[in-house]
Structure 1
Amino acid sequence: MKILLLEHPRKIARGRCNDIANTPLSSCLISGYAAGMLAAVGHEAAIVEGYLDGLSYEQIRRQIKDFGPDILGVHMVYQWGRDQELFVFLEDIKNEGSAPLIIAYGFYPTFAYEEILRHCRAVDAIILGEPEYTFARLAEKSCPGTALQGISGLARRDGSGNILARRREPLADPELLPFPLRTKAMLGLPEINIEGSRGCYGGCAFCYINSYYMEREHTGRGKVTTPGPSRWRGRSPENITAEIDLLMAEFGKRDFYFVDPNFFGPGRQGQERALRLAGLLKERGIRFGIEARVNDIHQQTIEALAEAGLRNILVGLESGRDESLKRLNKMTTVAQNEKALKILRRHGIEPNVGFIMFEPDSTLEDLRINFEFLQRNDLLGDLPITANVLYHPQIILQGTRAYHKLQEEGRLQLLSTTYEGTAGFANPRVAALAQIMSGITNYLFVKMEGIWSGKAEEPKSARAIYAKLNRSLIKCFADTLHQLETGKQFSPGEIEDFVFIAEQEIDNM
């Protein structure tokens, strides 16, 4: 059977430049793993890189016609709203008869399957969670469209148009999967993405990683209950290095990035596994990056990883106040945040940090303590990071504990889709500062997009300009916060003027 997997074109709205990624980094290998599984069981599988190759929908249409798939898989990625352009394209493909069966998969459709199936009739079914074995089952059928009801792991319509959903038990061991298929576009990235584990042992209120991977009990009308225990699953160090050896031998690659949401497994076993992997990687002379929780940053392990080639790391600090960390269900402390920063810097690693400055229930005191934490720990010295941490809000996405909690409390306000909501800010002064910083930082990100993406050349005086902009952002936040703390209230017009003046200052620099 012929299966074509589509990574559709994507864009981020101008007002969302400074928000979190619209899908977890771990999803970048989702099509590769599905294609690898399909090829391993004897099917012809290919990937169309609509996003990385910058293809238009017309170019993608021609590739679909040329390939003639029995199944068209679409890795749907959230576009900060309902992607009507993609839906219309799929309707055209279905009407033309270019793809008898269209299957969506990914984080976004796993949670928003009801909305997608109602608004895009061209999508025959949606894979819930991990797609590899569900795709393999679909491809076993000579006429797969007639046998959807017998396959676990799908959301689909029944004969009456009702939406039914049935999760598949998560894969027990990711080491059982074939290595992912990597396209020319993927291999052309500065770092080769590699997946060493799936899931997370944490339970952060803003994250849906575990909900995506875990089996959940469904009620009669396709609704789901709150997910149960965590399911972190890691590949062995030997299996990981076997894949790295293959990539080095075939493509000469030496720069890698582990896309795992949680590189370290839980507890002592997780540290021991990381030490074994460090020992194997050190022999290979590579460079790599990881993402981790602060409570997993230990002196011995980081020292070994740094010696093995660890060069960059993303750590989720999220807040500089213990009360906020409890609200976010981080299961970490400010002391652990600061200890992790010291350990990493001791080994020459300046981390990229996850930080949520604005929560729906933030107070001015929370913001003040967060700001002082960032200053105290030297986290406001680099313009892109400063612009991020001085604004970053908590995004409320379907599948997270926060979404579920706010929905139960009657506070959730949906945006243009059921997939994303907001609760507003309980404190109007917090809302004013968030609006000001959002406007300024998004303008800055748009202005710098060409330079920071490598598409435009930096000015000769870039370092001095960045330092000046950085100081200006910090001063703006500090001065505005002080005014709000002393009772100042900003009208909508004043906020608009404030942002406009800051935009002019950015332009003049």
Structure 2
Amino acid sequence: MENDLILVNPLEQFDTGNNFVEYLGFSYLASYLREKGYRVKILDMYLEGISLDECITILNVTNSRVIGFTSMSSLYIKNIKYILSRLDRRNRTFVVGGLYATQNYKQILNDLDNLDYVFLGEGEKTFNEFLNNLKHRLPLNGIKGLAYKQDGTIHSNGMREFLTHEEILNLPRPAHDTLEMSLKRNGIPQIAMSRGCYGNCSFCAISNYYKENLQCRWRGLDVFTCIDELEYLVNHYHVNYVDFCDEEFIGPHTVENSKRLQQFTDEIQKRNIVVRYMIYCRSNDVSEELFLRLKKSGLDRVFLGIEFGNNSLLRRYGKGTSVEMNVRAINLLKKLDIKLSVGYIMFEPFMDIKLLRDNMNFYFQYCPFKLDRLATKMGIFPNTKLYEEAKESLGLKHTVWDEILGDHYPYHFIDNRVEIVYQAMIALKGILSKSKSYYKIKTSSKNANEYEHNFDKWKKELHEKITQLINKLIVIDSNLLKGEQIVSDFIKSITIWDHTYLL
């Protein structure tokens, strides 16, 4: 039987990739369209571990009126271009959607000759109208939410309006075509409780995406439908851990949303659903009363968007939080014995060496230590407020792509001394990722308390050595710096320390 639509995730597995989760965007879209009577198939190259050529073979022997690709970066577009160049046309329509496609539709339509349409914004209603018009042989080019190329000219019908709060509440539960594949690869099942984020961080593309319709920048899904979904995953798939993958789980601090969160915790306990889960939120969301309720309902871990340990940096990037809020949130989560992960940006382009020292000090004092965080550099992404603010002063020209940041603009730090510390941290990460001293701590500690004591001592000494490097740079004229020599000397001292470390 012919499919109306095949949804394709055109991403191949990386050598370092291990994030084997369902793509919920497809799960919700497939469920929505099936409810409207359409036959939808999902082909997830990443989860299924198939190559581009294998994907082409599958698509060429599968009947479908429409083949739709998601795109989250230029790598997706590169892969889509390769696939389209080798697909049989057979009266099929090829379309691309997703945030990246929405924000770069002109470039994509110019670059992909075989592509028919780019879907702009949320896809549910646009796909419904698109498939209906195809079925009844009605015109497609007038559909809102489409961009296309005709006679060498690119046309856009504009983004379709975001789903309203009422429409979001009535979305069906997601389809789980690929969940078993995910679970077999030790993936964590995901649930979305909302769409968007109420924050306004200048470095984030999400806030810019919603700037024309601020009342839709955070929309909560129906609580009881989400709990039905949670209960289904626990009972049918026997999962015991779930990732609530919302960009911002808690949502705006309104009376209505407070009642919603109360319903969430009450309903889990009322149904006796035994599960642990993690959420993503901001430090100003954390209150003792709420998070105690969340913990009782199964909250195990919080990913907290701290970002910086300095108020001037938090203000610069529009976080809407403060150092004091961050400290209070961290301490409260520790008090409640809720596991903590943090989003933290150690280096940003405009900081001077003293700001870097403050940022480093906060991280070592308050945040759960991860070696990688010592070398995190702010990504400047297309279609963000930060890009518009920084493109002249930093000379931002062309994006590059990597596995960590995706598409971003490379830049140099304004303060040369910050660049030296950044290079030193990259080198340090390479040494300590195979640390002999940490191995001693891990293998010789007899219990958790002894490990924590020994690790804190090791971390304190590492912090002191990094601080010594920064303090040395503070008193040196940046024009007289010999960066390579300073980094070399620092790495030698770290190597000796690591090899001779005594517990």
For the residue of structure 1 that corresponds to 2:273, the secondary structure is coil
The correspondence for 2:326, drawn from 326, 332, 337, is 337
Give the Å deviation of 1:302. Answer: 0.3
- Deviation readout 1:374-403 (Å, 9 max, x if unpaired): 2322x25x4xx2322x22121111222111
**Letter matched to residue 406 of structure 1:** A
TM-score where L is the length of structure 2: 0.83
Gap change, CA 1:177 and 1:462, over 3 Å in 2:
farther
1:179 paired to 2:173: yes
For the residue of structure 2 that corresponds to 1:61, the secondary structure is helix
Give the Å deviation of 1:185. Answer: 2.1
**Letter matched to residue 192 of structure 2:** E
- Deviation readout 1:271-330 (Å, 9 max, x if unpaired): 332222111123311111100011110000000001110001101111111111000100
1:392 paired to 2:376: yes
* Conserved? CA contact 1:315–1:353, under 8 Å: yes
- Tell me the distance in 1 between the aligned counterparts of 2:489 and 2:357: 20
TM-score where L is the length of structure 1: 0.82
Identity of aligned residues (%): 24
2:28: which partner in 1? 33
1:9: which partner in 2? 11
- Tell me the distance in 1 between the aligned counterparts of 2:485 and 2:99: 39
Give the Å deviation of 1:408. Answer: 6.5
Gaps of 5+ in 2: 436-440, 446-450
**Letter matched to residue 113 of structure 2:** R
**Letter matched to residue 353 of structure 1:** V
- Tell me the distance in 1 between the aligned counterparts of 2:174 and 2:155: 31
Give the Å deviation of 1:134. Answer: 1.6
For residues 157-168 of structure 1, what are the structure 2 equivalents within 5 Å? 157-164=149-156, 166-168=158-160
The correspondence for 1:272, drawn from 259, 264, 267, is 259
- Tell me the distance in 1 between the aligned counterparts of 2:22 and 2:307: 22
1:199: which partner in 2? 196
Gap change, CA 1:504 and 1:372, over 3 Å in 2:
closer
1:366: which partner in 2? 355
- Tell me the distance in 2 between the aligned counterparts of 1:150 and 1:462: 69
For the residue of structure 2 that corresponds to 1:177, the secondary structure is coil
- Deviation readout 1:418-469 (Å, 9 max, x if unpaired): 9522443111111222233235437877x79xxxxxxxxxx984988x9599
Q: Which moved more, 1:491-500 or 1:239-248?
A: 491-500
1:494 paired to 2:480: no
For residues 417-456 of structure 1, what are the structure 2 equivalents within 5 Å? 420-441=408-429
1:60: which partner in 2? 55
* Conserved? CA contact 1:9–1:50, under 8 Å: yes
For residues 47-86 of structure 1, what are the structure 2 equivalents within 5 Å? 47-78=42-73, 84-86=78-80
2:448: which partner in 1? none
- Deviation readout 1:455-497 (Å, 9 max, x if unpaired): xxxx984988x95996786456334322222317654643774
What's the RMSD between the two structures over aligned residues? 3.6
Gaps of 5+ in 1: 217-226, 449-458
- Tell me the distance in 2 between the aligned counterparts of 1:185 and 1:472: 44
Gap change, CA 1:484 and 1:230, over 3 Å in 2:
farther
For residues 245-324 of structure 1, what are the structure 2 equivalents within 5 Å? 245-269=231-255, 270-282=257-269, 283-324=272-313
* Conserved? CA contact 1:359–1:425, under 8 Å: yes
- Deviation readout 1:205-248 (Å, 9 max, x if unpaired): 11122333x374xxxxxxxxxx7566211023212112222223
For the residue of structure 2 that corresponds to 1:150, the secondary structure is coil
For the residue of structure 1 that corresponds to 2:134, the secondary structure is coil
User: How many residue pairs get matched?
Assistant: 472
